[in-house]
Chains A and B, each alone.
Chain A
Amino acid sequence: MTFARRLICTNCNKEYDLSVRNACGNCFAALNVQYDYEKLGRYLREKIETRSHNIWRYKELLPFYNGSVGIHSGFTPLRKAHRLGEKWGLKNLFLKDDTVNPTGSFKDRPASLGVASAVHFGLEAVGCASTGNLAAATAAAASLACLPSYIFVPNGLDSSKLDTTRIFGGTIYKLGDTYDEVNRKANLIADRYGWGIVNINLRPFYVEGSKTLIFEILEQLNWSHPDHIVIPLGSGALLDAVNRGYEELISLGVVSKGDKARLSGTQPFGCSPIVNAYLKGSNEISPIKYPDTIVKSLAIGDPASGYEALDIIRRTGGWGDNPSDAEVVEAQLALAKTEGLFVEQTGGCALASVKRKAEDGKIDRSEVVVVALTGHGYKTLDTTRQFLDTAIENSESLEIAV
């Protein structure tokens, strides 16, 4: 059962049946899925709590339930970071640990929905344009659905991102030097072939999967509001989905109306088009032609959901922040050494921003802060290795008889 009813344009409110399309035929803006909320609210909360621990726990708020795809994705731990919190002067620092998803990133959530919708529409193959994490997530979800997958990536990704994609049987195409170039070509491919490219022609359904991140955070906090939620921004789609999922639970009465958390976004200094607009107080997002950062997952110069993300940060009283690559690595390693958790640079970026905001008083010592750690460190070992300061010793340094 789903309560999904129709697609609605985010700009002009024109409505469509649930169908394969990526944008409004009237004004070309993005489409979102709309639900029949009233029926839903009455029965949701108690139902949820009896369900198994994966994204389908919230299936009434997702399109196209599929009993095969997505079963390993989601319901990741919300960890309290005692030691890192102490180091940075925060009493209630929580980490939403999405590194434990099957392919090591939050992308297993939207990819599962993208592939489930491809199955729903009877498509013969799936694919994606990816900065690396969606690649493996789409290939893995495709293998659960027994569909071939075609994965479009830029040059220069960590080899572990490519190899994990190949392990799941995904066919990789390197389509250019930047994500934005790959994305443009993937659009042309989506037009040419009858494939479901999850973040292009299945995008309205794909992005719904990311709402489960906020559903889980709120449930794990006993349906109470944190003070801050910090989200890394690439295209801005995750923050947009988090906000929409949050609003849905509020309008359903699953969480209370007042005290919604401030939603904040972080991007690396070398590619921060959304944060730049926020910091300048501008309503215009200027695309970045050549992203220059080690945070490859966030190297999107022309963010598709940038305006939505900017608006959400402003409306919820959050902040935008853009730490340097050096700060990113410092925070990444601080997490490893205090909490025993290894995240990719994206998580380092979010944590570096939290450290800055704790220092400048934007986050109060006792406030509840939730940071989304969206990808595993093993994904970016190639990039991380250069920053390691412990040597690999040889055996002569040990006093043992050989």
Chain B
Amino acid sequence: MAKKLNMRKRYELLTRGLGWEPTYQSKEKVFSNESYEGIKITDWSKWEDPFRLTIDAYWKYQAEKDKKLYAVMDSFAQNNAHLNLADATYVNALKLFIQGVTPLEYQAHRGFARLARQFSGEGAQIACQMQSLDELRHTQTQIHTISHYNKHFNGMHDPFHMHDRVWYLSVPKSYFDDAKSAGPFEFITSVSFAFEYLLTNLLFVPFMSGAAFNGDMATVTFGFSAQSDESRHMTLGLELIKFLLEQHEDNIPIVQGWIDKHFWRAYRVLALVSAMQDYMLPESPMSWKEAWEIYFVENAGALFNDLARYGLRMPKYHEQATAEAEHLSHQVWGTLYNYAHAASMHFWLPDEKKMDWLSEKYPNTFDKYYRPRYEMWAQMAKEGKRFQNGGLPQLCQVCQVPMLFTEVSKDDPMQISYRSSEFNGEKFHTCSDGCKDIFDHEPEKYVHAWLPVHQIFQGNCGGAAIPDILNWYHFKPEDGGDYAGSADETRWKAMHGETTGAASSDTESAEEKAAA
């Protein structure tokens, strides 16, 4: 009887030897993306695959997880479990997720599929192929999980279309476009290491524990189902970095540059998450600042101590990111409030209870800078003059976030931070030293940015008036604005038997929406 092989041996036998020396075309032509970035690989066989899963085992595990997940989703839908949410304002976090994050899962799926084709090492091909499948599955399971909410709340009806067009979604989209339009080694350093290894907890913890704290069991279940994939992806990120650094010393400065760049870009994407975490969750598990301290300052500090022996240091400007943690979520939420009329989700002023929580979590900044702002806006709203920005914001050429960040590191936190560069006779504006460095390193790339505000002024976004633009985004009039007085609020109240000004028709519209 044949001896039973252990997992590792079995994996090696099943994956190695899948490659062959091409004879019709040269190897350089077959794997045309592998060398142009300047990365030197001397021996692919040194690649230690962190997944060690064969495709048959992979299918089995994923199928089991899917079965459980879809069972939870079914019972969630049958029991109308959305009624158990802490509050309907929570659903806005899901809107941000489906619009901003789910399309990134799909982008990751495509990016890893390309890597599976372009890496010549078989171990790396298999690992990228599996991650590509994982990411497609994440896209699908997120759509299925959130589709239940789409029956009862606005703003979740066309996330992929929105992702390609909407001003605030150009932030996550452009990060991934940047990585995907780079070479395969930069892409995997960006997504697997800078994003998934360094920062993923800052994305998933607020959404998943936010879901748990606010009664959203469907999203919690999705989170668990993705967690085992995510831990494989994180391991891949770390193994990859070590592999590149061990292969050739010339790789070190290239990889360090990518870590600096993609850390900063991914961090800027997380600005949106910080606002969600501190303001959208009725019950907040932890503040952005606390999460940053645990998941970045402590964890990354330990990690880079380990990586120092390979010649790597902490990503450039990490101190700025840490200093900004005191301000970030408040500045972003304020900007979203300014432009609530142009969003496909709702924003609002924090109530007293939330402001007290924010004071406690941000003792150095909230009462001094941000509480007064909300008091001013609350006063204006009371007088019927709800503050909104009637213009369009200046955007950063690199991260595409409205230029809202301030000179926190220069001890001037109420002064907007402006940086600029010149290229080809034109001025380019950036929000920070981090973004300016990225621009100056590859200006030819970033002049291609599709900046939503400039595109509107060029006449490429459905018209000049806000309603025309929103229509081009596929937003419906009831999708944005303040939560108070929204169709979502009316429906939520009707679901709980509370009457509002137009109660009878509200019940009707809830049923209509559910039937749609």
A binds B: no
